[in-house]
Amino acid sequence: MDSFGSILAEAFGLILALDPDLVEIVGLSLKVTLSAVAISCLIGLPLGAAVGAFRFPGRIVLTVLLNAMMGLPPVVVGLTVYLMLSASGPFGALALLYTPTAMIIAQTILVTPIAAALTRQVVEDLNREYAEQFASLGVGPLGRISALLRDARFSLLTVALAGFGRAVAEVGAVMIVGGNINHVTRVMTTTIALETSKGNLQLALALGVVLLILSLIINAAVMAVRGTAQRAAYV
């Protein structure tokens, strides 16, 4: 087995060389993952906020359900989406199987429960502080949700990052619905799986390091945005 030093060296070599194939794969990874996270936040944030802020019948059940769905197995989600999008499935006519769109759909299903469940907790805690004020000011339901989401925005960035972490590292679902087709649906994680199966363990690990660095950069960027915004907010 190669030393960790040589793996790191290969990883940085890959990055510095800006190999067009690697750039394409990293680009598709980001496109798929960020699209899925964005759509998941669009659905999950308001959904989680509503569950966190309001009392209604079935709320506990819904909360438990959302929390449980954070643990959806990617392969099961991948298979389900495959069966839906398959030519012999109900949405076969859309011809979405083996496209990046199919991968975004699968990852959105994986990330939305995370966005919703974590948002629910954040908003519920905040709502406890705000409830009296809302009542005395007579704020309507939509006003409440938007005020809570706005004031919780920094915590919600972390929620989005948790979703990003899940999506960017995921291989089981995108492998099944994307098919790992070269230049079409090949992303970082499926490339790592492919290189592993070719026995190119050093290259696979180096690609893993590249993925890790990518994740670090995105997290650092979000933290920087958050820091700047927070300072501006309290000056």
Partner 1 sequence: MIRRSFIGLTTAMFMGLGLATPASAEDRFIIVQSTTSTQNSGLFDHILPMFTEKSGIEVRVVAVGTGQAIKNASNGDGDVLFVHAKPSEEKFVAAGDGVARFDVMYNDFVIVAPESDPAGVAGITDVTAALTRIAEAQAPFASRGDDSGTNKAELRLWAQTDVEPAAASGGWYRETGSGMGATLNAAVGMGAYTMSDRATWISFANKGNFKIVVEGDPRLFNQYGIILVNPEKHPNVKADLGQQFVDWVISQDGQAAIASYRVDGQQLFFPNASN
Q: Which residues here bind partner 1, judged by CB under 8 A? A: 31-32, 34-35, 38, 86-89, 92-93, 95, 97-101, 103-104, 150, 153, 179-184, 194, 196-201, 225, 229, 232-233
List, in order, residues 6 or more apart from 233 with CB less than 8 Å away.
none
Helix ranges restricted to H, 73-200: 74-85, 100-137, 141-151, 153-168, 172-178, 188-197
- Cβ 56 to partner 1, closest distance in Å? 28
The nearest distance, CB 18 to partner 1, in angstroms, is: 20
Q: How far is the CB of 198 from partner 1 (least distance, A)?
A: 5
Residue 210 tokens, joined: 């590249």
Q: In the complex with partner 1, which residue's Cβ is closer, 135 or 229?
A: 229
Distance separating alpha carbons of residues 147 and 130, to the nearest angstrom: 10
Cα 103 to Cα 106: distance, rounded to the nearest angstrom: 5
3-state percent breakdown (helix, strand, coil) of the chain, nearest 5: 80, 0, 20
| Complex with partner 1: residue 69 or 139, whichever CB lies closer | 139
Which C-beta is closer to partner 1: that of 89 or that of 165? 89
- Residue 18 or residue 87: which is nearer to partner 1 going by CB? 87
Tokens of 3: 């030393």
What is the smallest separation between the CB atom of 225 and partner 1, expressed in angstroms?
A: 6
CB of 223 to partner 1, least distance (A): 13
Closest approach, Cβ 232 to partner 1, in A, equals 6
Tell me whether residue 2 or residue 64 sits nearer to partner 1 (CB atom).
2
Cα separation, 120 vs 47, in Å, equals 8
C-beta separation of 145 from 47 below 8 A: no
Nearer to partner 1, 63 or 108 (CB): 108
Indicate the residue type of 38: A
CA 18, CA 193: separation in Å to the nearest integer? 21
